[in-house]
Amino acid sequence: MRYRLRHTTSYTYSWAVDISYHLLHLALPELPRQRVHACSVTTNPNSGRLSAQIDHFGNRVAYLTIDAPHKRFDVELRAEVEVDPFAGVDPEATPPWESLRDMLDGNGFPAPVLESEFVHASPFAQADAEAVAYALQSFTPSRPVLAAAKELTERIFRDFRYDPAATEVFTPVSEVMKQRAGVCQDFAHLQISMLRGLGLAARYVSGYIRTLKEGETTGLRGADASHAWLSVWCGPELGWVDLDPTNNMICSDQHVTAALGRDYGDISPVRGVVLGGGPHRIGVAVELLPLG
Amino acid sequence: MSLPLPATVSQKGAEAIPVIPPNPLDAFDEMVTGQGVIRPHWQPLLATLSLLGANGLAERAERGRQYLENEGVTYNLYELPGGSGRGAAEIAPPLPEQRPWRLDPVPVLLSAEEWEGIEAGLIQRAHLLDLILRDLYGPMTLLHEQRFPPALIFGHREFLRPARSMTGKPPRMLQHYAAELVRGPDGVWRVIADRTQAPVGAGYALQNRRVLSRLMGQALRQCRVRPLNAFFEYWQADLAARAPTQSDNPRVVLLTPGPYNEAYFEHIYLARELGATLVEGADLTMRDGRIFLKTLAGLEQVDVLLRRLDGEWCDPLELRADSAVGVVGLLQSAREGNVAICNAIGSGLVGAPALQAFLPTLARHFLGEDLKLPSIATWWCGQDYALQEAIQRFDSVVVRGAYDLGEQPVVVSDLPDTERAAFLQRIKARPGNYVAQERILPSVSPGLGEKGLEPQSILLRVLVVADGDDYVVMPGGLARVPEKNDPFGATLQRGGINKDVWVVAKEQGPTVIRGTASRQRMPLRRSSGTLQSRVADDLYWLGRSIERLDDGARLLRAVLSRLVGEFASARDMVEMTVLARTLARCGIVDQKAAAAPPDTALFSGALTRACAPGQLLGQTLDGIERLAVVSRHRFSADMWRMFNHLLGELRLSRPAALGDADGTLAFCDQMIRATAAISGMLSEHMTRGSGWRFLDFGRRLERGVFIARTVSAATTMIGASTDSAFRIALEVNDSSLTYRRRYRSALQAAAVFDLLLLDISNPHALAFQLHGMAQHLDAMPNPDAPPRSADCLALTQPFADLVASFDRDEIGREEEAQLANRLRGSLDAACQALMDISDQLTRTYFSHVQVAHSFGFGS
């Protein structure tokens, strides 16, 4: 599926900001199932100093400093991107989850070195005993990893209420467990924490989900802003498989990936520090429209 | 003395020679051999100790304690998370308890041969740790080649991913480092910890040496002890050499988390020793990829940053967003090679205790050598065989966190049986989070105990610094007597006794000390030129706060002295009402209480609570304490001691004074005396540079406002109780005596107003303040920017005319009231003008001292 993507973020400050520093995780990466045909990030004011880098996770990062007073900051991502469907995998035919757990432990020296990074708890996805107990109901002995993970995704979708008022960015996993409510970030962090608690590798994915087409009445959740889901490692052959607990699905060609990390903290799309400015308002708009 | 002295000799004659009881344990004895013979390198010291006797030694110890106290050598007992945030500047957090530095007058001696081994071992180790760091923060071949467990990197919070170089191996990351050593009963020194973040100790070691050279100077020479100064010269030269662009005089700054950090004393001390500017995060700014120091004269580029702030707090843009002590963009600037950070951000990674288990193989891999100095036996439980080893010897090991050196180690044998099994279960649940280390009985060295000399266990902290591509070791260090429950002397924070370490020079060959001849002759300077804006801001507010406290105390005293009398006359009642109104206007008591009749509980209650912590005067007092601490590095040791003493006394007597009129009155006197002492000290001892100007400007401005307010309040009584009006105005402005001397007791409007508003010889006159402010403004770095001196001087203008109008023989009642109104109007306008001047000063000089806000990472 080929898409046209537009993602705008605007910050409106109460009074002038003297200087602002931004860290942008916006530019789309090339991935096995994702090809980027065009991608541009523009800002207003555009007078700043911009430098681009690849980060530890392989994401494309941009640093922007605006050293002139401004009351508003807009950043826009426009891209054309193509995503292949995820198909031909039978979750019941994936390796038993314990074999992956043991492989990732490797008695201190796991063969999948880079994947083993995502076994460890991280600031936004802390270990939680209750969450692990919840996950174990799906991860019965010798169960194929993707079958169990898919069922876990489904249970989170069923048992947890989608409620933007229930949480903030800093709401810890333990709190989400108690409230049984949250938004896409919370569900992603929750399932990541559960999988890692079992000794599996799970990473956080930020990106976009297909916007409602004309004539459709029920769309996908998370389409009006940047979306988040997770990836679970299913062994050397299959690699990473993306799961979206907010929409109860294995991600296929309706999701476009923007960045990968341990959790939200590693890949927040627009991070910044401003001097001055006072209280500010944020406006976000996302459009991911299929082409043709 | 050619023959070794038998140890038993030293135990004879308790009066002359300090008694050294035999070592009761199997520990290695630093001073006595197994055959009971004093080791030769200890003999000159022992001779001195014998001469001193027990009393002499105790007397030296006391002298040492006094030196340290006078120098203000302290160690803060706890640290607020992330140090002091400027955002919270208005509400002063409580000051940490400062623990005096305890120094034993008896040093630890190490022979030249022995030292060579330690030296070579630590140089090798520094190279090795640096190579490991540069691999892990670069290509990570150690992980890909299965030489190092990835869990120890990916699970470590000090693996700071944004600090990783994605373009190859980064340049040197470990510029300085400290190793903790212990000597076991077998006589072998072993490393128990590698401190690679921002190790504390070099400054304290130098301080110890300076004290001991006064206490034990003769022994120091007789033992031919290697001096420490050269180490700091190496350090300074190496910092300068790391400047990204070659310059004759690179700017080196020492970044401290601030006065709330545990080792702030050392930060001040090191900055002085290394010729670095002591800065906090708020003093620096990133512009155009480079780091600048915000000074009164503008922005000055920083070349090298000596980091005393833990890595994760260094840059709120890429690392912890909640850090108020870092510098936005610091990582980016370092990545572009525009600033050298020593140690590089992320260096704490290789301090992980679990690393010890892998150092021997890594040494062979990187250097093709075995470790010259072994580590303490360490098992990382993340591997099955190591976990089994740990379980087998569970009762004889110490267990600690695999990652964090700061975590409290657990001596398993100290655990009750009931807890032991549960602890083992916790380890088995998450084995990768733990290491087991053998428990070593540390060596003993004589130290001054309660009953004379006694053998005490010691740990050694030794410092290493880069010298170009190589490393040099400080010939000496810090020895510590660990507390009983702290087998590894986990941190300096737990206190304990410190000892100087004397390394004996080699018999042959002169000691080579690096000369400073290569440095250029420095041009003479009359000012340091580059006062940080933040420091100027703090000093300005220190000046204002001291004056505010003085004025407030004076005003409060004027009311209370009328209130506590046996009988308040009608005149007293009227005066108290006016004074109370002034107090309310100054914000010292609230409006409602001030409006109540003076004989009510509401009125007296408000007065006696005026110095309580939440009230303006209480806040001012707390503010002075905070500002004094943050400005400490601007004051000499003597001044600081005085400050500490005066503020400490106020702190002690405040609680008892609260709620009691007489007590508060006495406390007012005490505050007035303290501010007078502080003022005298500042005016006598502070160099007349920018710092002093900002402080004094603050004082003048605050006093100007006070004069304008109090005289304005007094004018409301003109007509009804004219004499009271004048009396109060003179009294609270400390001018009654001068007035009486000049005019006897007759109170006349023109004379009073001339003395309080126009007389530039009266330090409590408005004109005096304005003239002083004008002089300061002319000497400030930017005299053409507002506020300008002419604006200050112009403020006296209306008062000259008004005083002339009062100064006539015949003034009608109505005309007098009219003049009083005009005068009040002018005074209120002057008050407002002074506030505007303060705003202008802030905009011109402190405007870049702003609070940063993070977003996109949380709220």
What's the pLDDT tens digit per position in A188-243? 999 999 999 999 999 999 999 988 666 666 677 777 788 999 999 999 999 999 99
| Residues comprising chain A, all counted | 292
pLDDT digits (tens, 9 = 90+) for A143-201: 999 999 999 999 999 999 999 888 777 789 999 999 999 999 999 999 999 999 999 99
Q: Which value, in Å, is the radius of gyration of the alpha carbons in chain B?
A: 33
pLDDT value at B697 more than 70: yes
- Contact (Cβ atoms closer than 8 angstroms) between residue B389 and residue B436: yes
Residue B474: phi, psi to the nearest 5?
-65, 125
- Nearest CB among B380, B853, B858 relative to A169 is that of B858
CA distances from B149 to B370, B402, B828 (A): 20, 12, 72
Residue ranges of E strands in B28-130: 74-76, 98-100, 108-110
CA–CA min distance B687, chain A (Å): 33
Residue B457: phi, psi to the nearest 5?
-65, 145
CA–CA min distance B334, chain A (Å): 14
Q: Identify the H or E element spanning A6.
A: strand A2-24
Q: Do A21 and B335 touch (CB under 8 A)?
A: no
pLDDT at B511: 52
Q: Which amino acid is at B506?
A: K
Higher pLDDT, B522 or A36: A36
Token output for B607: 């007065």
Higher pLDDT, B413 or A78: A78
Token output for B856: 């996109």
- Could you give the percent of chain A with pLDDT greater than 90? 78
Residue ranges of E strands in B451-496: 452-457, 459-467, 470-473, 478-481
Separation of alpha carbons B320 and A273, rounded Å: 12
Token output for B275: 């010729």
Query: Which pairing describes strands B277-279 and B252-255: parallel, antiparallel, or unpaired?
Result: parallel
Q: Do B332 and A11 touch (CB under 8 A)?
A: no
On the CB side of B545, how many CA atoms lie within 13 Å of its CA?
A: 21
pLDDT at B247: 76
Q: Which of B824, B390, B794 is nearest to B582 (CA)?
A: B824
Contacts of B541 (CB under 8 A, 6+ apart): B623, B627, B698
3-state secondary structure of B37: strand
Single pTM value for the model: 0.83
Q: Which of A46, A58, A22 is nearest to A260 (CA)?
A: A58
pLDDT value at B77 more than 60: no
Q: Do B857 and A120 touch (CB under 8 A)?
A: no
pLDDT at B98: 66
pLDDT at B525: 53
Contacts of B795 (CB under 8 A, 6+ apart): B766, B770, B830, B833, B834
CA distances from B437 to B109, B375, B377, B409, B547 (A): 27, 10, 6, 10, 58
- Nearest CB among B166, B332, B383 relative to A108 is that of B383
Q: Which of A101, A167, A182, A102 is nearest to A135 (CA)?
A: A101
pLDDT at B508: 59
Separation of alpha carbons B245 and B243, rounded Å: 6
Q: Which of A42, A265, A234 is nearest to B857 (CA)?
A: A265
Q: Where are the alpha helices (DSSP H) in chain A?
A: 97-105, 129-136, 145-159, 173-179, 184-197, 264-267
Task: For B257-310, give the secondary structure using H, E and C.
Answer: CCCCCCCHHHHHHHHHHHCCEEECHHHEEEECCEEEEEECCEEEECCEEEECCC
- Could you give the percent of chain B with pLDDT greater than 90? 57
| Residues comprising chain B, all counted | 859
- Contact (Cβ atoms closer than 8 angstroms) between residue A167 and residue A181: yes
- Nearest CB among A21, A265, A276 relative to B317 is that of A21
pLDDT at B1: 35
pLDDT value at B515 more than 60: no
Q: Do B857 and A53 touch (CB under 8 A)?
A: no
Identify the contact set of chain B against chain A, taking CB-CB distances under 8 A: 143-144, 146, 149-151, 154-155, 161-162, 164, 166, 285-289, 316-318, 321, 328-329, 332, 335-336, 380, 382-384, 432, 848, 850-859
Token output for B536: 């100027």
Q: Do A266 and B161 touch (CB under 8 A)?
A: yes
Separation of alpha carbons B136 and B104, rounded Å: 41
Q: Which of B86, B94, B16, B103 is nearest to B51 (CA)?
A: B16
Separation of alpha carbons B10 and B12, rounded Å: 6
3-state secondary structure of B686: coil
Separation of alpha carbons B828 and A200, rounded Å: 72
Separation of alpha carbons B19 and B497, rounded Å: 20
Q: Which of A148, A222, A233, A150 is nearest to A185 (CA)?
A: A222
Cβ-Cβ contacts under 8 Å, A280 against chain B: 855
B179 exposed, middle or buried (CB, 10 Å; 0-12, 13-18, 19+)?
Answer: buried
3-state secondary structure of A245: coil
pLDDT at A160: 96
Residue B546: phi, psi to the nearest 5?
-65, -45
Separation of alpha carbons B205 and B228, rounded Å: 9
- Nearest CB among A109, A270, A275 relative to B850 is that of A275
Tracing tokens 């083992």 back to the chain, one arrives at B424
On the CB side of B441, how many CA atoms lie within 13 Å of its CA?
A: 11
CA–CA min distance A51, chain B (Å): 9
Higher pLDDT, B707 or B497: B707
Residue of chain A whose alpha carbon sits nearest to that of B163: A56
Q: Do A109 and B149 touch (CB under 8 A)?
A: yes
Separation of alpha carbons A236 and A234, rounded Å: 7
Separation of alpha carbons B436 and B414, rounded Å: 15
Query: Which pairing describes strands B304-307 and B340-342: parallel, antiparallel, or unpaired?
Result: parallel
Cβ-Cβ contacts under 8 Å, B429 against chain A: none
Give the count of beta carbons closer than 10 Å to the beta carbon of residue B72: 21
pLDDT value at B433 more than 80: yes
Token output for B231: 């180490």
- Name the β-bridge partners of A30: none
Token output for A175: 């709190």
Residue of chain B whose alpha carbon sits nearest to that of A199: B430
Taking residues A29-45, report their average pLDDT: 93
pLDDT value at B79 more than 90: no
Residue B385: phi, psi to the nearest 5?
-65, -35
CA–CA min distance A119, chain B (Å): 8
Cβ-Cβ contacts under 8 Å, A55 against chain B: 161-162, 166
Cβ-Cβ contacts under 8 Å, B321 against chain A: 271, 273
Residue of chain B whose alpha carbon sits nearest to that of A185: B858
pLDDT digits (tens, 9 = 90+) for B471-502: 999 999 999 987 765 556 544 455 578 999 99
What is the overall mean pLDDT for chain A? 92
pLDDT digits (tens, 9 = 90+) for B558-609: 999 988 876 778 888 888 988 998 999 888 999 999 999 888 889 989 999 9
Identify the contact set of chain A against chain B, taking CB-CB distances under 8 A: 11, 18-19, 21-23, 49, 51, 53-57, 63, 65, 67, 107-110, 113, 116-117, 119-120, 168-170, 265-266, 268-277, 280, 282
Q: Which of A10, A48, A45, A20 is nearest to A277 (CA)?
A: A20
CA distances from A68 to A51, B338, B361 (A): 17, 22, 53
Q: Which of B440, B447, B412 is nearest to B426 (CA)?
A: B412
Q: Do A65 and B146 touch (CB under 8 A)?
A: no
3-state secondary structure of B653: helix
Q: Do A170 and B336 touch (CB under 8 A)?
A: no
CA–CA min distance A24, chain B (Å): 10
Taking residues A89-111, report their average pLDDT: 96
Q: At what angle do helices B417-429 and B384-392 cross, to 10 degrees?
A: 180
Tracing tokens 């109008």 back to the chain, one arrives at B805
Q: Do A108 and B859 touch (CB under 8 A)?
A: no
Token output for A191: 């399932």
Cβ-Cβ contacts under 8 Å, B162 against chain A: 55-56
Cβ-Cβ contacts under 8 Å, B146 against chain A: 109, 113
Separation of alpha carbons B159 and B396, rounded Å: 31
Mutate to test the interface with A, among B147, B355, B857 (most CBs of A within 10 A): B857
Contacts of B393 (CB under 8 A, 6+ apart): B436, B438
Q: Do A108 and B289 touch (CB under 8 A)?
A: no
